[in-house]
Amino acid sequence: MAAPRTILLVKLSAIGDVLHGVPVAVALRHAFPTATIGWVVEGRSADVLQGHRAIDRVFRLRRGWATRLADLRSLRRDLVGFAADVAIDMQGLLKSAIATRLSSAPLRIGQARPAARECSWLATTHHVLTDAPHVVDRNCQLLAPLGITVDQPRFAMPSWPASRERMTALVASLGLDHLPVIINPGAGWPSKIWAEERFATLSRRLLADHGRRSVVVWGGDRERAMAERIATAGHGVMAPQTSLQDLAELCRLSAVFISSDTGPLHLAAAVGTPCVGLFGPVPASRNGPYGAGHVCVEPALELRPAWNNRKRDTLAMAGIGVEEVVAAVGPLLARATQRRAG
């Protein structure tokens, strides 16, 4: 087929899932450097795409758009004007299928069943069996109908100068003689939450064993209260409220990022910060921070819940001990010290 002039990517949410699709845009930009690439996304997940060199246009939708006739009409107008030659549904759900079909692209690529759910396969013309272990590689497999094989997925995340300036000032205000360690205790699912007291103990151990004060980041009122308790009990520092772009730049100024499986963890990995991921209900082989230089801590296999119970079960995260996490962080801090000295 002729090289497409306009390509539409559809990955609506959540933050981590959107980030896992970024290497697809990077690969498309490399394969088709003159193409116009657009992305349909919901809410604040759009913030991590703004300014990316591989993405020319971001179609930002408010949550609930698929149930509002006015929003559907507006999206339809925008997508008809965009005139995509190719649309790629990286989500495989009903609402992503709606956006994909509204594009009217003659070539519409999506996942084959069973990965495609909610009849989303009816909106696509080409169905790809995505069987790679990690979701980043699965997303990249969707490029096969375009003749693209991605051997080394890259994120190539942009920098955000205003956020960089704010976060540089924040780190300087802490008066540290080392790069900070970031702790992110929040998560989207209750089953992915690691106990507050364990995060606080971890923070104290990092200070005692490595002389590193932790900076605890948060999002929303519930996480703010949790972060405040952890920072106080863990002799750490509570971060101010940050945007996603602020958080990305703070990660770039940090030695290590510690978190369970949630959007901020994948943002830290995408900008190149060494991560320690705490993975309970979902295996790290599927959703872990992508790329080299990261470490994941997981419970004993028998504590991992059945897939259909992964959002409710809390035993898996309880099976991750503080000592295991301390042991995982140590080598990453040593490498960070070597990089700074070099």
- Rounded to whole angstroms, the Cα distance separating 334 from 163 reads 27
Q: What is the pTM of this model?
A: 0.96
**CATH code of the domain occupying 6-146:** 3.40.50.2000
- Domains 6-146 and 162-341 belong to one CATH topology: yes
- 3-state class of 67 per DSSP? helix
b/e map 70-93, b = 16+ CB within 10 Å = eebeebbebbeebebbbbbbbbbb
CA 116 to chain centre: 20
* pLDDT, tens only, 88-128: 999 999 999 999 999 999 999 999 999 999 999 999 999 99
User: Domain boundaries in the chain?
Assistant: 6-146, 162-341
Q: Are 294 and 279 in contact (CB under 8 A)?
A: no
Q: Which residue has the tokens 């972060």?
A: 227
- 3-state class of 9 per DSSP? strand
Q: Is the link from the previous residue into 14 a cis peptide, with omega within 30 of 0?
A: yes
Strand pairing partners for 215?
182, 237
Model pLDDT, residue 342: 59
Mean pLDDT within 126-153: 98
CB count within 10 Å of CB 133 equals 11
Of 261, 231, 273, 267, the closest CA to residue 247 belongs to 267
Number of residues in the chain: 342
Per the CATH hierarchy, to which homologous superfamily does domain 162-341 belong? Glycogen Phosphorylase B; (3.40.50.2000)
Q: Are 9 and 86 in contact (CB under 8 A)?
A: no
Model pLDDT, residue 7: 99
* pLDDT, tens only, 190-246: 999 999 999 999 999 999 999 999 999 999 888 999 999 999 999 999 999 999 999
